[in-house]
Amino acid sequence: MVMIRINGRKIRAAEGQTVLEAARAAGIKIPTLCHSDALAPYGACRLCIVEIKREKYVSIESSCTCPVAEGLEIKTDSPRVLAGRKVAVALLLSRCPNVKVIQQLAKEYGLAEAPVEWGQDNEYCILCGLCVRACDEVVGVGAIQFAGSGIDKIVDTPFHQSSEKCIACGSCVFVCPTGIIKKNDLEQTISCTPEGFRDTGPVREITNWQVEHSLKVCEKCGNPIAPLPMLEKIAEDHCYQMNFFNLCPSCRTYPEIDTDLCTACNSCIVVCPVGAAQFVEDGEDQKSHIFKQNCCGCHSCTDVCGWGAVKITSVR
């Protein structure tokens, strides 16, 4: 643990924490746009700047990238900090004047509009990088990247073509603070070709990346579950069989083993398509056990058990 001061308060912070994390843990608000706890620090938006004093030296730094250290004295709302944040908001306002979150920040910092000499665009992407980093760091596919530089910098797919890597998971949509990334789940689609019309079923489209993927539907209720490439990646990453996704979570009922009736005949383990049924120690004996986190709800184990030991008793 290290001792730091934030706005005059003594705060004990864990080694490895950033100034932003330590401040938030202490209930001290620092604004951010490009930060997410699920992603590595980035420091692009500059809204989280703070004034940091190390011995005799004072600097303005982004709190999300600055690690805590013994004896740091930090100010989150000094005149220099507030002036710097106001400039950052003004720059964002000149780029994205119609984005709601930017308008709210501008109002908070007393800005009606950006300086006229800075010009005014009508962009909705604030270049925070959350979508790019989530796709790379969390999803692990890297389907989108920054392209261009300076005022021409954008988030895009390679060569502005439909991304072959995109699995339409929607993570980019979820993290985007401006809502500019659009995801549409269509219940029914039809493909039109010279040969005629063909029902292509439900699909998800991410319009920004020119991507469209079929949605896997629940075999029981018929409701869409998720895009097929997304489920295929989950299956590959976690060694699942694709039939794990035959039923949606709402329709799954999960079997349990009555250990008093189980004879350890091994039938349920052999027939289980996803490896959810396994032997576990039960005193001096071995008994079958269903690991619900792996169960696909197919009930093959129930059908094959000749002793009535496998029972449907729970819904996760």
pLDDT mean over 38-64: 94
Smallest CA-to-CA distance from 12 within 54, 68, 88, 50 is with: 68
71 in the same domain as 20: yes
- Classify burial at 68, counting beta carbons within 10 Å of its beta carbon; exposed 0-12, middle 13-18, buried 19 or more: buried
Q: Left if phi > 0, otherwise alpha if psi is -120 to 50, otherwise beta: which for 253?
A: beta
Nearest to 245, CA basis, from 223, 267, 270: 223
Q: Is residue 91 part of a domain?
A: no
State the pLDDT confidence band at 314, using cuts at 50, 70 and 90: low
Claim to verify: residue 135 and residue 198 sit in the same structural domain? yes
Q: What is the CATH number of the domain that holds 23?
A: 3.10.20.740
Picking from 217, 245, 268, the residue at the C-terminal end of a domain is: 217
| Phi, psi for residue 120 in degrees, rounded to 5 | -145, 125
**By CB neighbour count within 10 A (0-12 exposed, 13-18 middle, 19+ buried), where does 13 fall?**
buried
Share of the chain above pLDDT 90, in %: 68
Q: Which pLDDT does position 315 carry in this prediction? A: 54
Dist CA 32 CA 48 (whole Å):
5
Q: What residues contact residue 226 under an 8 Å CB cut-off, 6+ apart? A: 169, 215, 216, 245
Q: What is the pLDDT of residues 259-311, one digit of tens each?
A: 899 999 999 999 988 888 999 987 778 899 999 888 888 888 998 999 999 98
Question: Domain check: are 6 and 72 in the same one?
Answer: yes
pLDDT confidence tier of residue 200, bands split at 50, 70 and 90: confident
The rounded distance, in Å, linking the Cα atoms of 128 and 179 is 12
Which of 172, 192, 217 is the last residue in one of the domains?
217
Phi, psi (degrees; rounded to nearest 5) at 186: -100, 125
Q: Using CA of residue 20, residue 64, residue 32, residue 21, what is the dihedral sign? A: negative
Write b or e for each residue in 155-176: b if 16 or more Cβ atoms lie within 10 A of its Cβ, otherwise e.
Answer: bbbeeeeebebbbbbbbbbebb
> Residue 89: is its pLDDT beyond 80?
yes
Give the chain's mean pLDDT.
91
In this predicted model, what pLDDT tens digit does every residue of 138-173 receive, in sequence order? Answer: 999 999 999 999 889 999 999 889 988 999 999 999
The domain boundary residue, chosen from 164, 188, 217: 217
Question: Domain holding 200: CATH number?
Answer: 3.30.70
pLDDT over 60 (residue 53): yes
According to the model, what pLDDT value does residue 313 have? 67
Distances (CA, A) of 187 to 166, 211, 212: 20, 16, 13
209 located within any domain = yes
pTM above 0.85, yes or no: no
In terms of phi and psi (left: phi > 0; alpha: psi -120 to 50; beta: otherwise), the region of 267 is: alpha
CATH number of 267's domain: 3.30.70.20
Q: How far apart are CA 170 and CA 204, in angstroms?
A: 9
- What is the biggest distance separating any 2 CA atoms in the chain, rounded to whole angstroms? 82
Q: Name the strand (E) or helix (H) holding 82.
A: helix 79-95
- C-alpha to C-alpha distance for 221 and 279, rounded to whole angstroms: 32
Domain that holds residue 52: 2-83
Structural domain count, the chain: 3
Residue 119's pLDDT is 83
Q: Are 135 and 141 a contacting pair, CB within 8 Å? A: yes
